[in-house]
Amino acid sequence: MVKYDFDSVIDRRGTGAIKCDCLQEWFGCTDLTPLWIADMDFAVCPDITDALRQRLDHPVLGYCSAPDSYWESITGWLRRRHALDVKREELTFVAGVVAGIAFAVNYFSREGDKILIQPPVYHPFRQVIEGNKRQVLANPLLRDEATGHYSMNIDELERLMEEERPRMMILCNPHNPIGLQWDTETLRRVASAARRAGCIVVSDEIHGDLMLYGRPHIPFASVSDDAAAVSVSLGAPSKTFNIPGMCSSWMFVRNPQLREPFFGWLEANHFCEPPLGAIVATDAAYHHGEEWLSQLIPYIEGNIAAVEEFFARELPQVHPVRPEASFLVWLDCRALGYTQQELIDRLLHKARVALNDGTMFGQQGEGFMRLNVAMPRAALLKALSALPAALKQ
């Protein structure tokens, strides 16, 4: 068995990587350790880069069509990893999950329609809604302050569905930035309420392959007939295998009454034709990357444990929320007593680290920051070591 290396530090500067080459644009300075945008600092699975190199050995890069093996790689992966049986005709390509959400917003809703989201949540949801002149309908998550545990305010969601009649809900499953995998009963109640209200549920499941601590991913479309009837599901190999630059995502719609006209619209507008790099990388990832992923997940779990131990020892006022999926850790910094701007300023100008501002995910993120732990452990701990001097009162 190949032993994959997640400890080597890779210099990404000068590669066009947003994470390190756009620090000036996002944070106003460049000499920061980037712990923010959700990609990993690990080398890509060698099977993926080998497949890309082999294809580039051919001297012609002409128009291409996705072979059957491309589609089989996706359906096989969903069946093996998530017990989700997807037929080829229920699947299409989109250039990114956010692009897929935007396509659904534009096809299924009209200007002024209400679209429900659950803040604090991935900020492009709000941007896509407001940028397309729809209305945000917020159903904030509940937080148990005694335990730090988050849950869905499902009673309020059912009320909003009945009274406000949103045209669409954008579900984050698993949830970003909290890292929650919603349980089956909660998802069934969402589906039932949505179907009664005539609401389409667009489920962003891009973090579903990165489940932690042996917990299974629960695809929204799989939980009930109601869910299958109202769902548009999105996923990708990009987070799983650290290939977001390949822009390869997939969309799955079971209900033919939703799927056939929607997929027809995507095809008519040439939104669903995978480019060469996406085809090769996806095929290689899903067919050959499983062992790489099986070694990555415990490494991420080890990084999360290291983060928890660090804060418990050095900064007990900061409380990490342990994620159930992915490599993002939601940090509760409220006990430090700083305003949000003071917190950001100290992290940037004293600790010299770049994290995601919690308020970008909604006002419920006040006092929080999002930390990306997907990097070599020694580099992560070195970056964290600057926090106590910067944040202690």
Q: Are 316 and 371 in contact (CB under 8 A)?
A: no
Please tell me the predicted confidence (pLDDT) of residue 136.
98
190, 226 contact by CB (below 8 A): no
First-to-last alpha carbon distance for the chain, in angstroms, is: 49
Closest of 184, 246, 249, 240 to residue 217, by C-alpha = 184
- 282: enclosing H helix or E strand: helix 276-288
CATH topology of domain 18-45+291-391: Aspartate Aminotransferase, domain 1 (3.90.1150)
pLDDT at 363: 97
pLDDT, position 50: 98
Total Cβ atoms within 10 A of residue 364: 18
CB 151 within 8 A of CB 190: no
Which is it for strands 114-117 and 168-172: parallel, antiparallel or unpaired? parallel
Q: Quick one: tokens of 344?
A: 């950001």
List the chain domain ranges.
Answer: 18-45+291-391, 60-288
Q: How buried is 21 (Cβ within 10 angstroms: 0-12 exposed, 13-18 middle, 19+ buried)?
A: middle
Q: What is the pLDDT along the chain (393 residues), one digit of tens a residue?
A: 899 999 999 999 999 999 999 999 999 999 999 999 999 999 999 999 999 999 999 999 999 999 999 999 999 999 999 999 999 999 999 999 999 999 999 999 999 999 999 999 999 999 999 999 999 999 999 999 999 999 999 999 999 999 999 999 999 999 999 999 999 999 999 999 999 999 999 999 999 999 999 999 999 999 999 999 999 999 999 999 999 999 999 999 999 999 999 999 999 999 999 999 999 999 999 999 999 999 999 999 999 999 999 999 999 999 999 999 999 999 999 999 999 999 999 999 999 999 999 999 999 999 999 999 999 999 999 999 999 999 986
Q: Taking the model in full, what pTM does it have?
A: 0.97
Q: How far apart are CA 189 and CA 166, in angstroms?
A: 16
User: What's residue 1's pLDDT?
Assistant: 82
For domain 60-288, give the fold: Aspartate Aminotransferase; domain 2 (3.40.640)
Q: What is d(CA 233, CA 252) in angstroms, rounded to the nearest whole number? A: 5
What is the pLDDT at residue 392? 85
Secondary structure (3-state) at 115: strand
| pLDDT value of position 217 | 98
Please state at what angle helix 276-288 crosses helix 46-56, rounded to 10 degrees. Answer: 140
